[in-house]
């Protein structure tokens, strides 16, 4: 198991090093954004992993409700915590982009507003887990909360921001309706999404193992 973890982290380090080189030396400046487009190769993957983490948290919350097991609760809780961390990274990277593009870190743009609401929802999840002393009750109540909280994620991340004018740059579509992106940019973005997903998986495994070890 330890050798597998070391192998995964070695793969992550190699992939990350290659991505840093590609982002700064291979990716061309984007029309209208110039070199600021390089922030997107961090911002988009961390936002994607945040959604993935909340989905995993909800999935294992559902599994816990169907068949209560300490392992399911541990994975759900650890994934929710990681989701919050990745949301914070997405918010910070978005704020840097906002400052460099529009002159202010925070504009209460629809996407910034909905991500702030998402942070509040999952901060309440952490608070809920901290105030319930009984382990079984905490696990059950947290599972119910995690399950219903995820129902808000698609609306806050993908749907509601599209109903309002946003300073946030929208993806450019070509005639066939697919995203029009430089092939190098697309390959680097996909590799970055893979890299960030692997980082999430490695961190989740480590956190679950640590939390279960501490409780045993």
Q: What is the pTM of this model?
A: 0.90
**Token pair recorded at residue 187:** 């390959």
Specify whether the CB–CB gap between 113 and 166 falls below 8 A.
no
Write the DSSP assignment of 27-64 as a string of letters. Answer: SPPBTTTBGGGGGHHHHHHHHHHHHHHHHHHHHHHHHH
pLDDT over threshold 90, residue 18: yes
pLDDT score of 164 = 73
- C-alpha distances in Å from residue 33, one per residue of 132, 151, 181: 48, 33, 13
Write the DSSP assignment of 117-143 as a string of letters. Answer: HHHHHHHHHHHHHHH--SHHHHHHHHH
- C-alpha distances in Å from residue 137, one per residue of 4, 90, 112: 35, 32, 34
Q: Which of 192, 170, 191 is nearest to 179 (CA)?
A: 170
pLDDT score of 173 = 45
- Cβ partners under 8 Å of residue 100, min gap 6: 36, 39
Burial of 65 (0-12, 13-18, 19+ CB in 10 A): middle
Q: What angle do CA 159, 165, 170 make, to 5 degrees?
A: 70
- C-alpha distances in Å from residue 55, one per residue of 66, 107, 143: 17, 28, 12
The per-residue pLDDT for range 91-144, each reduced to its tens digit, is 999 999 889 888 889 988 888 999 999 999 999 999 999 999 999 999 999 999
**Token pair recorded at residue 82:** 């990681």
pLDDT score of 216 = 53
The per-residue pLDDT for range 38-88, each reduced to its tens digit, is 999 999 999 999 999 999 999 999 999 999 999 999 999 999 999 999 999
**Minimum mean pLDDT range among 10-14, 22-26, 177-181:** 177-181
The conformation of residue 98, written as its DSSP 8-state character, comes to H
pLDDT over threshold 90, residue 149: yes
pLDDT score of 12 = 96
pLDDT over threshold 80, residue 204: yes
Secondary structure (3-state) at 173: strand
* Domain regions of the chain by residue span: 2-215
């Amino acid at each position: 198991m330890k050798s597998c973890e070391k192998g995964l982290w070695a793969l992550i380090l190699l992939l990350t090093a290659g991505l840093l080189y590609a982002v700064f030396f291979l990716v061309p400046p984007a029309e209208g954004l110039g070199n600021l487009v390089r922030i997107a190769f961090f911002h988009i993957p961390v936002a994607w992993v945040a959604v993935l983490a909340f989905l995993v948290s909800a999935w294992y919350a559902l599994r816990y409700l169907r068949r209560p097991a300490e392992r399911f609760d541990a994975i759900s809780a650890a994934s929710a915590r990681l989701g919050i961390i990745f949301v914070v990274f997405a918010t910070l990277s978005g704020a840097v982009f906002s400052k460099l593009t529009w002159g202010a870190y925070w504009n209460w743009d629809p996407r910034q507003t909905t991500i702030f609401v998402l942070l509040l929802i999952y901060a309440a999840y952490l608070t809920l887990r901290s105030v319930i002393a009984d382990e079984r009750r905490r696990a059950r109540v947290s599972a119910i909360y995690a399950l219903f909280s995820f129902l808000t994620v698609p609306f806050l991340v993908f749907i509601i921001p599209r109903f309002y004018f946003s300073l946030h740059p929208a993806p450019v579509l070509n005639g066939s309706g697919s995203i029009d992106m430089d092939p190098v940019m697309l390959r680097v973005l996909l590799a970055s999404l893979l890299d960030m997903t692997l980082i999430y998986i490695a961190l989740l495994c480590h956190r679950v193992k640590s939390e279960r070890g501490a409780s045993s």
